[in-house]
């Protein structure tokens, strides 16, 4: 017997992006010998976001594609330039999808509205550049923060299916006959 296209239970692996490193840079120009620190901040790592879509009815999209990885934040650079944020990854799911943490079996959230977005794996923050660390006693700090690593998580997507109509009755009461006359089922 072949398996149909209706999939209502899927396990997936999501990884958010790491934050970029802060920059250690000292400002230099032609006639300015000691310009001070001007290293920029690292970019935020990308999030993995689950988004509700009313045009979807099943989780068949995620039957074979099970790994989702967001982009890493870029490193800071000179002139207090912050690194670019990592690319976010969106997972479109049908309405009524329940998202669980696979390891703890805890319900994280449920998607109930079209366009509703929830972050399932938050990207790491970017590190601060060396210009954040200058003080009166340390005017040229030669260190910056590294970026915070992203989150790796196993999740379970489960689609709650609700019927519009239910037929209840005794055996041989004519439920199938009634259904065949009223619809083309």
**How many other C-beta atoms can be found within 10 angstroms of the C-beta atom of residue 154?**
14
76 contacts 144 by C-beta, under 8 angstroms: yes
Query: If the chain, 185 residues long, is cut into consecutive pieces of 10 residues, what is the mean pLDDT of each piece?
Result: 69 95 86 83 94 91 92 90 92 93 93 94 92 84 90 93 79 85 78
Q: What is the pLDDT of residue 185?
A: 64
Confidence (pLDDT) at 2: 47
Tokens describing residue 12 = 């997936």
- The first and second tokens of residue 129, run together, are 């550049």
User: Over the range 10-42, which residues count as b (16 or more CB within 10 Å of their CB) and which as e?
Assistant: bebebbbbbbbbbbbbbbeeeeeeeeebbbbbb
Q: Is 70 exposed, middle or buried (0-12, 13-18, 19+ CB in 10 A)?
A: buried
> What pLDDT, on a 0 to 100 scale, did the predictor assign at position 69?
96
CA distance 178 to 166: 12
Kindly list the structural domains of the chain, giving each domain's residue range(s) and its CATH number in brackets, ordered by start. 1-185 (2.70.210.12)
């Amino acid at each position: 017997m072949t398996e149909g296209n209706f999939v209502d239970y899927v396990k997936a692996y999501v990884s958010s992006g790491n934050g970029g490193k802060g920059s250690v840079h000292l400002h230099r120009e032609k006639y300015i010998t000691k310009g001070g620190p001007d290293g920029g901040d690292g970019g935020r790592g990308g999030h993995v976001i689950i988004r509700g879509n009313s045009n979807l009815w099943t989780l068949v999209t995620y039957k074979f594609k099970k790994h989702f990885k967001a982009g890493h934040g870029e490193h800071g650079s000179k002139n207090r330039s912050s690194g670019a944020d990592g690319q976010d990854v969106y997972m479109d799911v049908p309405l009524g999808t329940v998202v669980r943490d696979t390891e703890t079996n805890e319900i994280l959230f449920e998607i109930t509205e079209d366009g509703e977005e929830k972050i399932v794996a938050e990207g790491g923050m970017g590190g601060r550049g060396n210009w954040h660390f200058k003080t009166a006693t340390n005017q040229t700090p030669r260190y910056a923060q590294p970026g915070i690593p992203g989150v790796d998580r196993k999740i379970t997507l489960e689609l709650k299916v609700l019927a519009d109509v239910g037929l209840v009755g005794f055996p041989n009461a004519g439920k199938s006959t009634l259904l065949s006359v009223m619809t083309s089922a």
